[in-house]
């Protein structure tokens, strides 16, 4: 007969927390060998299978617990961040609704300001106006000096001219200037019997005195388009010739009677001319005289 051993009776009680806890070998020494039966072996095999099945289950449960822990920490943080953003947007909206605003009409076109009625108010504008006036005054004075010098030069360099003969009392109105204005005199040269008045093309030309047209042509020898008028001024025979007119602008023909200041044509550069100007010749009793000096002497 096999002996029946009580495993509990052969194993002494041992306190697991005691420092004098004997080792594994000591406990094994107190155990008695137990005979294994077929039922015991089967039970042991099933237990091992359960342990193998429970091991992945425990791993899955552990992983789920870790994921849940991470979600528990992350979701409140994410919610807190979203809450701060939403709160910041709300504050901005509140500030924007209470702030002042400016509305600009994009379709409105800026109106041009007319400064013609404005006067200078700043020191810079005042100084600029003064400088402009001073420059204009200086230019006018310089032009007057050039005209005076040119007149003296023309008079002294034209040896073929005789001294001008006073024909009328100054201011009598019998002699007029052929131009209302001009820029300056042309430079005289040898053999040049007239006086050149530099002026823009198209400027009107007037008769210097009452008279009769004795020549009017579109192709004079060197003169281009020209008109010649004969005058009798206080019994003195005088002729005046106006050359280099613009084509088609002659207003008189041969035989026409003209009066002082009557329109004869317009300034051009036809014939032997360099630049637009009036070439004026004055002949007194068959002698060429300086045209400008003659006009000045006779009050024109």
Rounded Cα–Cα distance for residues 287 and 240 (Å): 12
Q: What is the pLDDT along the chain (300 residues), one digit of tens a residue?
A: 444 444 444 444 444 444 444 444 444 444 555 445 555 555 566 665 666 555 666 677 777 777 777 666 666 555 555 555 445 556 566 556 555 655 555 555 555 555 555 555 788 888 888 887 887 777 667 666 656 655 555 544 444 566 667 888 877 889 999 999 999 998 877 778 899 999 999 999 999 999 999 999 999 889 999 999 999 999 999 999 999 999 999 999 999 999 999 999 999 999 999 899 999 999 999 999 999 999 999 987
The predicted structure's pLDDT at residue 158: 46
The predicted structure's pLDDT at residue 239: 97
Under DSSP, is residue 20 helix (H, G, I), strand (E, B) or coil? coil
For residue 158, the 8-state DSSP code is -
DSSP string, 96-153: HHHS------TTPPPPPP-GGG----SHHHHHHHHHHHHHHHHHHHHHHHHHHHHHHH
98: left (phi over 0), alpha (psi -120 to 50) or beta: alpha
State the alpha helices, DSSP H only, in the chain: 7-10, 24-30, 38-98, 123-157, 291-297
Under DSSP, is residue 184 helix (H, G, I), strand (E, B) or coil? strand
The predicted structure's pLDDT at residue 131: 82
Task: Give me the phi and psi of 26, to 5 degrees please.
Answer: -70, -45
The predicted structure's pLDDT at residue 139: 67
The predicted structure's pLDDT at residue 173: 85
Under DSSP, is residue 88 helix (H, G, I), strand (E, B) or coil? helix
Under DSSP, is residue 233 helix (H, G, I), strand (E, B) or coil? strand
N residues, the chain: 300
Rounded Cα–Cα distance for residues 80 and 77 (Å): 5
The predicted structure's pLDDT at residue 89: 55
Task: Assess contact for 193 and 160: CB atoms under 8 A.
Answer: yes
Cβ-based neighbour number of residue 227 at 10 Å: 27
Sign of the torsion formed by the C-alpha atoms of 110, 116, 120 and 125: positive
Rounded Cα–Cα distance for residues 281 and 241 (Å): 5
Task: Assess contact for 196 and 271: CB atoms under 8 A.
Answer: no
C-alpha to C-alpha distances, 108 to 52, 103, 105, 112, 245, nearest whole angstrom: 85, 12, 5, 12, 55
Rounded Cα–Cα distance for residues 157 and 191 (Å): 11
The predicted structure's pLDDT at residue 125: 84
Best CA proximity match to 205, nearest among 179, 181, 244: 179
For residue 162, the 8-state DSSP code is B
Rounded Cα–Cα distance for residues 150 and 156 (Å): 10
The predicted structure's pLDDT at residue 202: 96
- Residue that has been written with the tokens 């400064």 in this structure: 115
Best CA proximity match to 261, nearest among 251, 269, 270: 251
């Amino acid at each position: 007969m096999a002996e029946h051993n009580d495993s509990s009776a052969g194993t002494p009680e041992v306190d697991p927390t005691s420092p004098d806890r004997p080792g594994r070998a000591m406990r094994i020494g107190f155990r008695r060998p137990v005979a294994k039966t077929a039922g015991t072996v089967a039970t042991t095999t099933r237990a091992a299978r359960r342990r193998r099945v429970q091991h992945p289950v425990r791993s899955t449960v552990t992983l789920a617990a870790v994921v849940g822990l991470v979600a528990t920490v992350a979701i409140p943080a994410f919610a807190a961040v979203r809450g701060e953003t939403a709160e910041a947007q709300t504050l901005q909206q509140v500030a924007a609704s209470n702030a002042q605003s400016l509305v600009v009409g994009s379709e409105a076109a800026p109106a041009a300001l007319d400064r013609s009625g404005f006067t200078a108010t700043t020191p810079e504008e005042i100084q600029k106006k003064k400088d402009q006036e001073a420059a204009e005054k200086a230019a006018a004075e310089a032009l007057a000096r050039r005209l005076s010098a040119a007149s003296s030069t023309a008079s002294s360099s034209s040896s073929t001219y005789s001294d001008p003969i006073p024909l009328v009392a100054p201011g009598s109105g019998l002699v007029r200037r052929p131009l209302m204005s001009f820029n300056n005199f042309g430079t005289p040269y040898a053999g040049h019997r007239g006086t050149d008045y530099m002026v823009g093309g198209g400027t009107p030309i007037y008769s210097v005195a009452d008279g009769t047209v004795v020549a009017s042509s579109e192709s004079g020898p060197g003169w281009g388009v020209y008109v010649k008028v004969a005058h009798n001024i206080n019994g003195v025979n005088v002729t005046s010739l106006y050359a280099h007119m613009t084509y088609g602008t002659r207003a008189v023909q041969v035989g026409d009677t003209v009066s002082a200041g009557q329109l004869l044509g317009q300034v051009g550069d036809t014939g032997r001319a360099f630049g637009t100007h009036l070439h004026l010749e004055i002949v007194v009793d068959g002698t060429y005289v300086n045209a400008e000096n003659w006009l000045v002497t006779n009050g024109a």
